[in-house]
Amino acid sequence: MSEPKTKPTDVSVEQFIAGVEPEWKRDEAKVIDAMFRRVTREEPQMWGPSIIGYGVYNTTYASGRDVTWMRGGFSPRKAKHSLYLMGGYCDEETGKRRDAQLKRLGKHSKGKSCLYINKLADVDLDVLEEMIGEDWETMARIYPE
């Protein structure tokens, strides 16, 4: 089987964030990082060149492929912040609660396990932190260490 493209690296999270452009996106990345650190109580690690991840879990896909992935994380992409929130994707009940949270969040778009935010001023940061916390608890329940 092929190796995953996105793997943990030794690049400093602080160094990566310091290089994020423009400055307002860098400042928002610091806010999101602080939020994840507060909720997860984990030191982040870079995954690939542009994803900041918190914690890890192991799973096996239906295909039989074993995967190690971050429990949660984000990337301050050029167009939008991408937040990786697997709990609502991995757990049906969390997914149902997530739908209600998204209605309160503010302007966003989403993928299967990703939440996309243009800028933090568009969303309610308390709701975002609530979502990250619930997601983290779900992942810890489904994938205990």
Architecture of domain 13-142: Alpha-Beta Complex (3.90)
How confident is the model at residue 43, as a pLDDT?
97
Q: What is the pLDDT of residue 1?
A: 47
What's at 57, amino acid-wise?
A: Y
Q: How far are the Cα atoms of 17, 30, 40, 68, 94 from residue 97, in angstroms, in the given order?
A: 31, 27, 19, 26, 5
Look at residue 7 and give its three-state secondary structure: coil
List the domain boundaries for the chain: 13-142
The reported pLDDT for the residue numbered 3 is 60
pTM (predicted TM-score):
0.92
Question: How do the pLDDT tens digits run along the chain, 145 residues long?
Answer: 456 678 999 999 999 999 999 999 999 999 999 999 999 999 999 999 999 999 999 888 788 888 889 999 999 999 999 999 988 888 888 888 998 999 999 999 998 889 999 999 999 999 999 999 999 999 999 988 7
Instruction: Report pLDDT for 73.
Output: 97
